[in-house]
Amino acid sequence: MPIKPALTLGRPGTILCSHRFLSVECLPPLPRFPPSFIKQETSFAKPYHLRLLFVSRAAESSRPASAVAADKAIVPDDEFSLAKVSFGVIGLGIGVTLLSYGFGAYFNILPGSEWSAIMLTYGFPLAIIGMALKYAELKPVPCLTYSDAQRLREKCATQILKQVRNDVTRYRYGDEQHLDEALKRIFQYNLGGGIPRRSAPVLQMIREEVTEDGKYSLVLVFEARALELSDFEKRQAKFTSFFGPGITADIGMGENGLYEVRLISDTK
């Protein structure tokens, strides 16, 4: 729809368009004379001048809200991997199935009595191994990944950060907790200047995100009810050296009294 400007004679006016400001500076208009006098030639009447000034408005550089929301979208962890499968559950399930069917076939409750001995022979050790793995297994921790961090992972994450992510998101066997060796060296369990073993922090989850200055960050979220924030802050240099090189550790408080250790990659 066209804009109909309204000019006020005798003083400057400003017309607001959709993308520019149009400034109109008006010089004094012709004086009003009687009709009889207008017919005469006047040498003092000044002509009416218009001077147009165009001032460009700065274009918005902010990103659309949809693009920001896409960067902060959570990537579902639905990729299949054998590391995410519990071998204890598999061994125990197969062993119990062979034992059950073997006993049923041996007592002629189920068909296949000629295979009952083989089923019992292999079913018993498989069930024992499955129970042992199930007892010693350490479940993976949840991993929250944002889409912008996923795009930066291959390019900016160090090999140690990638290894940490892969280790804590798979089943482990024989370890008391995730990152047990790292926490043992950093907090020096039962040593002078360290903390008691029973007060050791427990990894609850990890998070992949991008910092405000565009760097990849792997956030370790710990629960440690017996520790204070200062216990983590005074070991900030140890976190940096243990998970380095190429990273900077940042300590902070998270939600629900949890502690967050951000391992920020120095590569952009």
Reading the block at residue 267, the tokens are 């590569």
What local confidence, expressed as pLDDT, does residue 176 receive? 84
| Cβ contact 151:126 at 8 Å | no
Size of the chain, expressed as the number of residues it contains: 268
Closest CA to 222 of 239, 210, 237, 209: 239
Closest CA to 206 of 176, 231, 169: 169
Tell me 157's DSSP state. Answer: S
What local confidence, expressed as pLDDT, does residue 248 receive? 95
For the chain, 268 residues long, the average pLDDT of each consecutive 10-residue run is 44 42 43 48 44 41 51 74 86 94 90 90 94 93 92 93 94 90 94 91 95 94 94 95 94 94 92
Reading the block at residue 200, the tokens are 């050791």
Pairing between β-strand 143-146 and β-strand 74-75 as defined by DSSP bridges: antiparallel
Closest CA to 268 of 207, 206, 209, 213: 213
Cα 30–chain centre separation: 69
What local confidence, expressed as pLDDT, does residue 16 receive? 41
d(CA 209, CA 146): 6
Strand order in the sheet with 20-26: 13-16, 20-26, 50-56
Asked if residue 245 has a cis previous peptide bond (ω within 30° of 0), the answer is yes
